[in-house]
Structure 1
Amino acid sequence: MSTQEKRYSLTRKLTVGMLLLVWLAGLAWAFWWFEGQYVKAFERPAYFSAQNVKPPFPPGKVQVLHVWQPGCPCNGGHEAYLQSMTERFSAQGVLFARAGSTSTEDLPSALQKLPQWPIPSEWSNWPGAPAVAIWDATGNLSYVGPYSDGAHCNSDSSFIEPVIKSLLAGRPVSIVTQDTVACLCDLK
């Protein structure tokens, strides 16, 4: 093998090595960016505490406010439950509204139909979404917090279903301050 062929071989190996190094650095940066954007949102401790504010509608019926952040990875495990729960309890006279994004783009169909309600300034430290606030028929805040303690929610794991059922049965509920671990994304 001539000297020129050896140089060419060495140059080719160095070029491939450098490209491989750049590719690995790009992968590491992409993982770091993704983790910073999305992984931090999963299963984090949160403190919910909300002052009693007026509900979205005049008192007279149980009211539920869905706090939703489109694009949140935590939403996926709640969408099917959100649809079925909203349909079931709407049939029983519960009123629903939504807060968070003002755009109906990227919202589940169950939320697109609901009136938008701005999060009150008294709740400026709301810990994240997806979450919910529930008022009793007299207009008193009964529950603030996540749908469940994980990334998925159904009738069996839901925190809010027992609250709504109790309020519909006329039993008082007061869960407006709680420490929890839930899948939440910051509100934008």
Structure 2
Amino acid sequence: MKTTSGTIWRAGLTALLLVVWLAGLVWAFWWYEGRYVRPFDRPAFFNGVAVAPPFAVGQVQVVHVWQPGCPCNAGHEQYIAEMTERFTALGVQFAVAGAENEEKGGSPFKNLPYWPIPEAWADWPGTPSIAIWDATGRLAYVGPYSDGVHCNSQSSFVEPVIRTLLSGRSVNITSQDTVSCLCELR
């Protein structure tokens, strides 16, 4: 009889410990998710207050606004490097803004000059994003590269803007609501 009650007691204690352990795992997952897992595909409003471009007027100018370590960067890096190289050959000038660090925002920007974000843009909605000026120094586009996590020449908002400006036509997309993969600029 003693063996049976001892076995039941041990089985009950084991079950209780298992329930406490599972509850601890559920709590830890809930805490981790609430603290570290954030939705990055979010609505944002880009309102590009006109500021002077980073270089002297005369050429189309592009500033990549970048936050190193943003999970949204991964879907854009290869496209940005390729696009920057291709349009630089056509006379477009590029710079990088955002968090200045020793890497200048990461590998796609290692050779680009750093441009500090103007005070008028202190509430910039997120990164990765971009600002484009026409050859006269007028702000033509502010916003994300695309509306998704990944960007390529087919999904890019940027390429049609640059091509239009290079053809001598004007663009004015400086205020827009968007839903895109964005991280806060620190």
Q: TM-score, normalised by structure 1?
A: 0.91
CA distance in 2, matches of 1:110, 1:102: 14
Runs (5+) with no aligned partner, structure 1: none
Structure 1 contact 104–112 (Cα < 8 Å) conserved:
no
Structure 2 contact 96–114 (Cα < 8 Å) conserved:
yes
The match for 2:53 among 46, 52, 55 is: 55
The match for 1:165 among 139, 145, 163 is: 163
The aligned amino acid for 1:132 is: I
* Matched pairs, number: 184
Partner secondary structure for residue 7 of structure 1: helix
Partner secondary structure for residue 74 of structure 1: helix
Once the two structures are superposed, residues 113-138 of structure 1 have per-residue CA deviations (whole angstroms, 9 ceiling, x without a partner) of 21111110111121111110001111
Partner secondary structure for residue 64 of structure 2: strand
Once the two structures are superposed, residues 125-184 of structure 1 have per-residue CA deviations (whole angstroms, 9 ceiling, x without a partner) of 211111100011111111111111111111111111011111111111111111222111
**Equivalent position of 1:13 in the other structure:** 15
CA distance in 1, matches of 2:70, 2:155: 20
The aligned amino acid for 2:51 is: V
**Equivalent position of 1:23 in the other structure:** 25
Q: TM-score, normalised by structure 2?
A: 0.92
Structure 1 contact 74–185 (Cα < 8 Å) conserved:
yes
**Equivalent position of 1:128 in the other structure:** 126
Q: Cα distance, 1:106 vs. partner? A: 8.4
Partner secondary structure for residue 71 of structure 2: coil
Matches within 5 A, 1:8-157: 8-35=10-37, 38-39=38-39, 41-42=40-41, 44-105=42-103, 107-157=105-155
**Equivalent position of 1:185 in the other structure:** 183
> What is the percent sequence identity of the aligned residues?
52
Q: Cα distance, 1:107 vs. partner? A: 3.5
Structure 1 contact 71–106 (Cα < 8 Å) conserved:
no
Partner secondary structure for residue 102 of structure 1: coil
Shift of the 183–136 alpha-carbon distance from structure 1 to 2, 3 Å rule, reads: same
Runs (5+) with no aligned partner, structure 2: none
CA distance in 2, matches of 1:14, 1:110: 54
